[in-house]
């Protein structure tokens, strides 16, 4: 992987991490289009630079994350992340194998797009408007929804936002809680990957990870601000149409042999 390739992948990550379009799916396809060598470091890079993107959440919502008197906030995130931690540990190898599958990404994008086109017609009578209104139970259930995104192409953001809305949250609150939940989820995933692979790192690997995380952080700061406003005004439908279009194009490219299955 070259520095230019790392920057491009990081830009894709920063833009898509918090949009309901699947950052992992977009990175996988981008890597295949650029013919990035598929190896252990590439898989680690795809996960690890998501940490840079979620640091943007901490920066934008720093008042929540450094207010240690509000211990309930941290406890909610801890409870909500438990399902992802358990399933991630149990199915780590299976998840890694799915990261190689363009077909899985294409189908997930397509089906997920259909869901997003229709989702605005449901869960449209929210009762929870503030993070303080979210119970531990509702946070935990939202965390279960997030686990669907372990399938590449599903979108962690979409799964957890829809889960939050199903639990009665407004679009804005569900999106913000999804952002908050990304912090412990991706921190754990990144830490696990780094612990498994750091012994094989070269100075070049470290440089690529540093650049990738920095770029993802800056781009994600802009994407978060855009998404909250867009979601409140327009809902999910346009994201759904985008996913369907991309999914169809990918299936055509796979069938044509342009992209490996």
Beta partners for residue 169, in sequence order: 128
The C-alpha atoms of residue 13 and residue 218 are separated, in whole angstroms, by 11
- Rounded to an integer, the average pLDDT of 168-176 is 89
Residue 4: band (very low, low, confident or very high) from pLDDT cuts 50, 70, 90: very high
What is the structure's pLDDT at 100? Answer: 66
**Which token pair is 49?**
């630079």
**pLDDT band, residue 190 (cuts 50/70/90):** confident
C-alpha closest to that of 20 among 254, 259, 260, 246:
246
Partner residues linked to 128 by β-bridges: 169
Say whether pLDDT at 11 is over 70.
Answer: yes
Distance from C-alpha of 228 to C-alpha of 235, rounded to nearest angstrom: 10
Cα distance between residue 126 and residue 111, in whole Å: 25
CA 56 to chain centre: 13
Long-range CB pairs of 164-168, under 8 A, 24+ apart, other chains included:
164/138, 165/119, 165/122, 165/123, 165/126, 166/123, 166/141, 167/128, 167/134, 167/138, 167/141, 167/142, 168/123, 168/126, 168/127, 168/128, 168/138
Residue-wise pLDDT for 74-114, tens only, equals 899 999 999 988 887 777 667 666 666 788 888 889 999 99
Contact 43, 36 (CB under 8 A): no
Q: How does pLDDT run across 18-73, given as a tens digit for each residue?
A: 888 888 888 888 888 888 877 788 888 888 888 898 889 888 888 878 877 788 88
How far apart CA 29 and CA 36 sit, in angstroms, is 10
């Amino acid at each position: 992987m070259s520095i230019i390739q790392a920057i491009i992948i990081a830009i894709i990550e920063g833009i898509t991490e918090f949009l309901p379009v699947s950052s992992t799916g977009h990175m996988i396809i981008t890597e295949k289009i650029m013919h990035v060598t598929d190896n252990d470091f590439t898989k680690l890079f795809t996960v690890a630079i998501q940490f840079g993107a979620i640091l943007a959440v901490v920066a934008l919502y720093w008042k929540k994350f450094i207010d240690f008197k509000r211990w309930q906030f941290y406890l909610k995130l801890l409870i909500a992340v438990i399902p992802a931690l358990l399933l991630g540990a149990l199915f780590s190898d299976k998840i890694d194998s799915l990261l190689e599958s363009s077909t899985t990404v294409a189908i997930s994008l397509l089906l997920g797009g259909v869901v997003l086109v229709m989702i605005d017609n449901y869960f449209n009578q929210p009762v929870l408007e503030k993070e303080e209104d979210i119970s531990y139970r509702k946070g935990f259930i939202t965390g279960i929804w997030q686990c669907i995104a372990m399938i590449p192409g599903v979108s962690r953001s979409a799964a957890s936002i829809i889960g939050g809305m199903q639990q009665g949250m407004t679009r804005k609150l569900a999106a913000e809680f999804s952002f908050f939940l990304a912090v412990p989820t991706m921190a754990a995933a990144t830490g696990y990957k780094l612990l498994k692979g750091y012994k094989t790192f070269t100075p070049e690997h470290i440089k690529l990870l540093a650049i990738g995380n920095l770029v993802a952080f800056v781009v994600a700061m802009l994407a978060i601000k855009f998404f909250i406003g867009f979601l409140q005004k327009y809902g999910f439908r346009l994201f759904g149409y985008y996913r369907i279009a991309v999914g169809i194009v990918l299936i055509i490219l796979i069938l044509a042999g342009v992209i490996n299955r």
